[in-house]
């Protein structure tokens, strides 16, 4: 399938020119309506708070990184499987029966 000659190149207008044209040529970008609002889900809010406080154990991260580098890190597949199943049950709204 032939798309076209390789030597023909299309030039694109800069993004600022597109914005000026869309804004009526005044050189300003459109602003959202004052009534526009965004709501985060509970999970996203929780993640944002956890990220904002910066609390993580830097020493633990370094110990894990060192164990991975030197090959001594052991993965507990049973624990991972158990937590994945518990998470799936929680998401599906079932109890662990």
Residue count (the chain): 97
pTM (2 d.p.): 0.35
Q: Which helix (H) or strand (E) holds 60?
A: helix 58-70
- What is the per-residue pLDDT across 9-63, written as a single tens digit (0 to 9) for each? 555 555 655 555 555 555 556 776 777 788 888 888 887 776 666 677 889 999 9
Say if CB 40 and CB 49 are below 8 A apart: no
Handedness of CA 76, 82, 84, 87 (dihedral sign): negative
pLDDT of residue 69: 96
Say how many Å lie between the first and final Cα of the chain, rounded.
58
Q: Provide φ and ψ at 91, rounded to 5°.
A: -65, -35
pLDDT of residue 79: 96
Place of tokens 């624990």: 79
């Amino acid at each position: 399938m032939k798309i076209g000659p390789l030597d023909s190149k299309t030039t694109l207008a800069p993004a600022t020119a597109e914005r000026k044209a869309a804004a009526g040529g005044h050189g300003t970008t459109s602003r959202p309506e004052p009534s526009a609002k965004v709501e985060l889900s509970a999970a996203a809010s929780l993640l944002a708070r956890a990220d904002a406080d910066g609390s993580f154990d830097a020493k633990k991260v370094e110990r894990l990184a060192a164990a991975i580098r030197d090959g001594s890190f052991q993965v507990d597949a049973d624990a991972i499987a158990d937590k994945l199943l518990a998470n799936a049950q929680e998401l599906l709204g079932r109890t662990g029966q």
